[in-house]
Chains A and B, each alone.
Chain A
Amino acid sequence: MSDPVAGPHIRPPLSLPALMGQVVLATAPATLFSVWLYGWPAFNLLLITLATALAAEALCLRASGRSVRTNLGDGSAFVAGWILAMSLPPWAPWWIGVTGGLLAVIVGKGIFGGTGQNLFNPAMVARVGLLIAFPVEMTRWVEPAPLGSSEAPGFLEGLRVTFTGAADWDAISSATTLDATRAATQEGEPVMSGLPGDYEPIAALLGFTPGSLAEGSALLLALGGLYLIVRRVIPWEIPLVLLGTLALLSSIGHLLNPERYTDASVHLLSGSSLLAAFFIATDPTTSPATRAGRAVFAAGCAAVIWVVRTYGGYPEATAFAVLLMNAATPLIDHWIRPRVYGRTRRGLALPTEQEPR
């Protein structure tokens, strides 16, 4: 391929592998922190999910007749597996990771034609597929037990948890903040009283609350997200509008009726709001092409998240929200179009100076 020489063809600053590398780099702190927090089972799950995603990608590339050697390294399958692992319950058994990796890469991406062709975020396709297929395993959260502490399982015990599911679930399982608010709502109690006794925004900020593998640490996720925005890997509109809309909706609800609606800090810091806002909804393939379109997309995600968390049947909804808005993306792109180069927004040729008025 020759380099284009004329004006509008500006070279992107980064290649696909480099972009994917930036995403992994930005999510690495939160992920490593969570691996430390949840111990060896989480580490095993991360490895299994990544290995399955890469193997599935190799299979898809082979089936579609493309070179495995040149395309496997583009990092897209690696990132899909990585984000998926971040959103799984930390002590999930090995077959959750394997099924999830296959669902993400084959059903979420491969059958649409591979990298850049998929309609839906691959990691979220797998997340939702797993949640629907294995409701018990996918909602079994554990108390954080950092590596090195007395409650943390050793390496061999970690293998046993991953491969045989042998753990004393009654002793270690725990409800997430969103589970607790959901239960309180269903019993008609004030939601804020339903929160676990030790719910503190500080703990949620740092990540010491039960939840998916790497959705916990709000601080590290936000830092990683800001890094990506600064490096212009992700557009700033999506996280800003998504989190802003979510905060706005929850604040309005909380002001009107604090008994029924949780406040903005619960919505922003619990569950996978930040993970979705910075790393999932910003997937360039499945989000709209224009700035205004992306704002609509992000606001829609936030609205769905808030409505399902508050009124719906599931305590957490970021995956559903992202998938629904992915489905709406072609429609958004139809109505809000980018300006064609050399033309006005209405599609007319730009007036030139030489033209007589």
Chain B
Amino acid sequence: MAADSEPVAGTSPTGPLDGHAPDADPRTFQPSVWGRIARDGLWENNVVFAQLLALCPLLAVTTTATNGLGLGIATLFVMVAAAFLVSSLRGLITDPVRIPVFILLIATLVTLVDLVMEAYLNPLYQALGLFIPLIVTNCAILGRAEVFASRRPVGEAVFDGLMMGFGFTAVLVALGAVRELLGAGTLFDQASLLLGDAFATLEITVWEAHPGFLLMTLPPGGFIALGFLMAGKRMLDRRRAATASRSP
């Protein structure tokens, strides 16, 4: 986690969208800014696929799609709320103390999430264990606070938190689904614990007599599956770039 804890500026192939971008001319930049934020958060500058942040909780909890979704939603909430608070207070927070203040704000929000989940989603809380409190140290949240929320207006910051959170949740669910499918032959096992009994239909047993491919449920399987997912994302990007260059 040591290397993770340093906030990394977003590097998007479509150009940086981080605060003091030199070409941030409001007249040409403004119209597309919401679309750009959405595209960055969901795909181009995805927390996991492009920034390679938050890999520790990602690999630890994605043994099932449900666990991934649970942690994803918790992180999404913290991300949006942290973006709102940091952006609103950005005029008050001075540079030398900004990191402790960000952490303090994030920790407050995580404590909230932690207590709420313990009270109302106890089985999921048990399954995720330590990784709920550890959202505090989720470098993706601190990273967005540092490079985006502390430099942009509240609306954009909240929207960025939302999109980054959605992007992160999507990866968590995708990785959890791949590992669950290969490792146990099910999908969204125990989803009713998270979403209530109405969602019990989500629980699918794809392969009844699955012998249990234990490797995928263990950490090495997480690394292998993540590697293949990232390779798949790059392949899609490369294909899209190739089609774009062929038809200008």
Q: When chains A and B are docked, how far (Å) is the Cα of A269 from the Cα of B140?
A: 53
Q: Which residues of B contact A111 (CB under 8 A)?
A: 227-228, 231
Q: Which residues of B contact A135 (CB under 8 A)?
A: 214
Interface size on B, residues (CB 8 A): 12
**Contact A133 B215, beta carbon cutoff 8 Å:** yes
Q: When chains A and B are docked, how far (Å) is the Cα of A134 from the Cα of B211?
A: 8
A135, closest chain B residue (CB): B214
Number of A-B residue pairs having CB atoms within 8 Å of each other in the complex:
23
Q: When chains A and B are docked, how far (Å) is the Cα of A107 from the Cα of B213?
A: 15
**Contact A133 B213, beta carbon cutoff 8 Å:** yes
**Contact B211 A132, beta carbon cutoff 8 Å:** no
Name the prevailing secondary structure of the A interface residues: helix
Q: Which residues of B contact A133 (CB under 8 A)?
A: 212-216
**Contact B211 A95, beta carbon cutoff 8 Å:** yes
Q: Which residues of B contact A137 (CB under 8 A)?
A: 211
**Contact B215 A129, beta carbon cutoff 8 Å:** yes
Name the prevailing secondary structure of the B interface residues: helix
**Contact A132 B227, beta carbon cutoff 8 Å:** no
Does chain A have a CB within 8 A of B127? Answer: no
**Contact A132 B214, beta carbon cutoff 8 Å:** yes
**Contact A107 B224, beta carbon cutoff 8 Å:** yes
Does chain A have a CB within 8 A of B60? Answer: no
Chain A's nearest CB lies how many Å from the CB of B228? 8
Q: When chains A and B are docked, how far (Å) is the Cα of A135 from the Cα of B214?
A: 9
Return the CB mask of A98-112 against B: 1 if under 8 Å, else 0.
010000000100010
Q: When chains A and B are docked, how far (Å) is the Cα of A99 from the Cα of B182?
A: 11
Q: When chains A and B are docked, how far (Å) is the Cα of A37 from the Cα of B216?
A: 34
**Contact A134 B227, beta carbon cutoff 8 Å:** no
Does chain A have a CB within 8 A of B218? Answer: yes
**Contact B224 A132, beta carbon cutoff 8 Å:** no
Chain A's nearest CB lies how many Å from the CB of B185? 13
Interface residues of A in 87-143 (CB under 8 A from B): 95, 99, 107, 111, 129, 132-135, 137
Interface residues of B in 194-226 (CB under 8 A from A): 211-216, 218, 220, 224
Closest A-B pairs by Cβ, 3 of them: A133-B215, A133-B214, A133-B213
Beyond known contacts A95-B211, A133-B212: 15 more, CB 8 A cutoff = A99-B213, A107-B224, A111-B228, A129-B215, A129-B220, A132-B214, A132-B215, A132-B218, A133-B213, A133-B215, A133-B216, A134-B211, A134-B213, A135-B214, A137-B211
A-B contact pairs, 23 of them (CB 8 A): A95-B211, A99-B213, A107-B224, A111-B227, A111-B228, A111-B231, A129-B215, A129-B220, A132-B214, A132-B215, A132-B218, A132-B220, A133-B212, A133-B213, A133-B214, A133-B215, A133-B216, A134-B211, A134-B212, A134-B213, A134-B214, A135-B214, A137-B211
